Copies of this chain bind each other. A is one copy, B any other.
Amino acid sequence: MATERLVVIGGDAAGMSAASQARRLKGPDELEIVAFERSHFSSYSACGIPYWVGGDVPERDELIARTPAEHRERAIDLRMRTEVTELDTAGGRVRSRDLESGDETWTGYDKLVIATGARPVRPALPGMDAPGVHGVQTLDDGQALLDSLARTQGRRAVVVGAGYIGVEMAEAMLKRGYEVTVLNRGAQPMATLDPDMGRLVHEAMDGLGITTVTGAGVTKILTGQDGQVRAVATEDAEYPADVVVLGIGVEPETTLADAAGLPLGVYGGLLTDLAMRVRGHENIWAGGDCVEVLDLVSGRERHVPLGTHANKHGQVIGANVGGGYGTFPGVVGTAVSKVCELEIARTGLREKDAREVGLQYVTATIESTNSAGYYPGAARMTVKMLAERRTGRLLGVQIVGREGSAKRVDIAAVALTAGMTVEQMTALDLGYAPPFSPVWDPVLVAARKATRTVHGSAT
């Protein structure tokens, strides 16, 4: 058999999982694998950056799952600090530039994997590029932030954005001893939750000593005479800052794909089929933060940049490229996070998501505890559940509470995948023992209340 060449653009989770899985299925005599990565790092956990910056993870290299050398030992020709600058699908080749030497090369492919990831949203505001303003998307970004902190005298940090990255970075900066202000454009932090649940996060952040300013759209970054950041301005006020962390989300990095005419969705992410093959392109696959995924609850494509999906995509792509078989059916929108001891979780649709796709729903919110009420350390857990009007089909769950809250959302994630009704959920045989749950698990209590609400009567 002639040797085929697989080219992978992007050396992080999706790209290198695809390469590794393909290599497991096909040896170097059957499949040559060339991968390009523009940064200094491969196969690392970007999700771990807040914990490295905060000091929980002492060494950067602990975030690296597999080094370039380890990939090369497995016969993957991983070219670091090499950026792909053009994709020629008609010619079946990519042009790359060595970022150290500036040399450019064309490399032909039989099969191509696009795993170019996401780029931070960076509004074009005055001062955005000033020293002391940092994104935290890549290990390079994290290193730059830490270097900047080491040089900085003052202890005032402003975090822009209060989504997952924002709240995790607020915790990280608090742990490093900074006085932390979070500026959030919306009415409540964690816009991935409904505002009533976001309010619980806001209250907890207040309790931690994090100043959260809501309705605070940033208008510019102010710098001092040394050019260094000195404050963040909104329409209403100025917030003094010795360092600014941007946590305002990411968007698919699909510049290359767009230029090559590949199909993009409404969020700018690549569109694939269930096998993660780019629609209409027999020999091109895409995965990770640069693609859109099917939301199984709403039936719409969404952009969900998460390491766990990227790894699954890579696995599926590698299986298909390597002659095996795999599919990625879609997501239900599960996400978990924490701010210090407060755990935050969601899956499925928020109220506004349901409305947007034409679903009518009822909601039920309950308060319970993470263990039997009499067990030492029992602490509050709030569960909000959305169910479709009349059918009672589960549409979404949000949980805010102490230890044991976040991963309880997995119960709902599986139930959503299975298309269960909230009434079916009331009979779920969930683990019960006093250290782990009240005799009615909080998710069951929510399901019971949602069921009563759906039926509009006692059950």
Interface residues of A (CB under 8 A from B): 13, 24-25, 45, 47-48, 51, 56-57, 62-63, 164, 306-309, 311-312, 315, 319, 322, 324-329, 331-338, 343, 345, 347, 372, 374-376, 404, 406-411, 413-415, 417-418, 420, 424, 426-437, 439-441, 448, 457-459
What 13 new A-B contacts, CB under 8 Å, besides A334-B431, A407-B407, A410-B431? A48-B434, A51-B434, A308-B440, A312-B426, A319-B459, A324-B458, A324-B459, A334-B429, A334-B430, A347-B429, A413-B430, A417-B424, A417-B427
**Do A407 and B431 form a contact, CB below 8 Å, given A63-B374, A374-B63, A414-B418?**
yes
Q: How far is the CA of A343 from the CA of B436 in the complex (A)?
A: 10
Q: Residues of B contacting A47 with CB < 8 Å?
A: 372, 432-434, 439
Residue among B334, B407, B432 making CB contact with A404, cutoff 8 Å: B407
Determine how many copies of this chain the complex contains: 2
**Residue contact B430 to A406, C-beta cutoff 8 Å:** no
Say yes or no: B431 contacts A345, CB within 8 Å: yes
Q: In the bound complex, what is the Cα–Cα distance between A50 and B62 (angstroms)?
A: 40
Closest CB-CB distance, A421 to chain B, in whole Å?
A: 12
Chain B residues with CB under 8 A of A334? 429-432
* Chain B positions within 8 Å of A407 at CB level: 404, 407-408, 431, 436-437
Complex CA–CA separation, A413 to B409 (angstroms): 14
Q: A374's contact among B62, B307, B372, B430, by CB below 8 Å, is which? A: B62
A329 partner residues in chain B, CB cutoff 8 A: 427
* Nearest Cβ on chain B to A375's Cβ, whole angstroms: 6
Contacts A45-B374, A326-B459, A372-B48 given; does A410 touch B413 at CB 8 Å: no
Closest 9 CB pairs of A and B: A418-B418, A336-B431, A308-B432, A414-B414, A62-B374, A334-B429, A331-B429, A332-B429, A336-B433
Is the Cβ of A57 less than 8 Å from the Cβ of B376? yes
B residues near A337, Cβ cutoff 8 Å: 433
Q: Which residue of B lies closest to A25 (CB)?
A: B458
Cβ of A414: which chain B residues have Cβ within 8 Å of it? 411, 414-415, 418, 420, 428
CA distance A83 to B15 in the complex (A): 69
Neighbouring B residues of A417 by C-beta, 8 Å:
418, 420, 424, 427-429
Give Cα A376 to B326, complex, Å.
34
Interface hub of A322, A374, A437 (most chain B Cβ within 10 A): A374
- Closest CB of chain B to A429's CB: distance in Å? 5
The smallest beta-carbon distance between A108 and chain B, in angstroms, is 27
Which among B24, B51, B309, B429 is the interface contact of A435 at CB below 8 angstroms?
A: B51
A164 and chain B: residue at smallest CB distance: B433
State how many angstroms separate the Cβ of A105 from the closest Cβ of chain B: 32
With both beta carbons as reference points, the residue of chain B lying nearest to A451 in the complex is identified as B326
User: When A319-B459, A432-B47, A459-B325 are in contact, do A439 and B307 touch as well, CB less than 8 Å?
Assistant: yes
Residues of B within 8 A of A376 (CB): 56-57
- How far apart are A119's CB and chain B's nearest CB, in angstroms? 21
B331 x A57 contact (CB < 8 A): no
Given contacts A45-B374, A414-B411, contact A406 B427 (CB under 8 A): no
Nearest Cβ distance between residue A150 and chain B, in whole angstroms?
21
Pair A439/B45 contact, Cβ less than 8 Å: yes
Q: Which residue on chain B has the smallest CB distance to residue A316?
A: B427
Q: Which of A327, A407, A424 counts the most chain B CB atoms within 10 A? A: A407
Identify the closest chain B residue to A309 (Cβ). B429
List chain B residues, Cβ under 8 A from A372. 45, 47-48
Q: Which residues of B contact A322 (CB under 8 A)?
A: 458
Chain B nearest CB from A417 CB (Å) reads 6
Q: How far is the CA of A329 from the CA of B311 in the complex (A)?
A: 37
Complex: how many Å from CA A120 to CA B426? 29
Q: Which residues of B contact A327 (CB under 8 A)?
A: 427
Q: Which of A408, A420, A430, A437 has the most chain B CB atoms inside 10 A of its CB?
A: A430
A413 and B435 contacting across the interface, CB-CB below 8 Å:
no
Residues on B with beta carbons closer than 8 Å to the beta carbon of A24: 458
Cα–Cα distance between A240 and B122 once the two chains are bound (Å): 72
Most buried by B among A51, A57, A334, A404: A51
